[in-house]
Amino acid sequence: MSHNRLHSNIPSSFGSLSLVESLDLSFNQLSGEIPQQLAGMTFLAVLNLSHNHLQGCIPQGRQFATFENNSYEGNDIGLQGFPVSKGCGSIWPPETNNADYEPYGEERNSEFLNDFWKATFMGYGSGLCIGLSIIYFMISTGNLKWLVRIVEDLEHKIIMRQRKKQRSQRQNKRKNNRI
């Protein structure tokens, strides 16, 4: 609907067109504010309201957080708010109690990561405490045979790897000397 010399305000009833994926109202003579109802258009992937006479605050919502400055440029009276450079008198990003705001799920992702790290550290902390308690109990009772056996097995494996490596190095030297 661009380049049609449309004038007046953007109808708020456009917000009920929930399945619309692209809305291009550029290069018209639209005036007034962008209706808040447009922020409820959940499938809207492309929005172009540039080169009109729009003014006021740009609505904030899931889809509106994804549109760039060029969607609004050329409105000579002036739009305010994200993503244009002029402030709208409110805090950006919008307060978290705004149910419509969720750009790219950032808030949900950071909450998930925060909970993930809490659970991870609680798991490591619990495991460390239980492990140290078991080791303390085994040492205090004098039952260290299992620990000695583990250390001896590790020592044996390390020595065998070193010997194997030394043998292969000697064999490579002999082969190189023959050639």
Q: Is the pLDDT reported for residue 16 higher than 60? A: yes
- Contact 81/39 with Cβ under 8 angstroms? no
Whole-number pLDDT of residue 107: 54
The reported pTM is: 0.47
Q: Grade residue 109 by pLDDT with cuts at 50, 70 and 90.
A: low
Whole-number pLDDT of residue 94: 46
Going from the C-alpha of 131 to that of each of 55, 124, 128, 136, 141, the distances in angstroms are: 65, 10, 5, 9, 16
Q: Any alpha helices (H) in the chain, and if so which ranges?
A: 106-141, 145-178
Q: Grade residue 157 by pLDDT with cuts at 50, 70 and 90.
A: very high
User: Which residues on neighbouring strands pair with residue 56, listed in sequence order?
Assistant: 79
User: Which residues on neighbouring strands pair with residue 29, listed in sequence order?
Assistant: 7
Q: What proportions of the chain, in percent to the nearest 5, are helix, strand and coil? A: 50, 10, 40
Q: Grade residue 159 by pLDDT with cuts at 50, 70 and 90.
A: very high
Of 93, 40, 30, 82, nearest to 63 by C-alpha is: 40
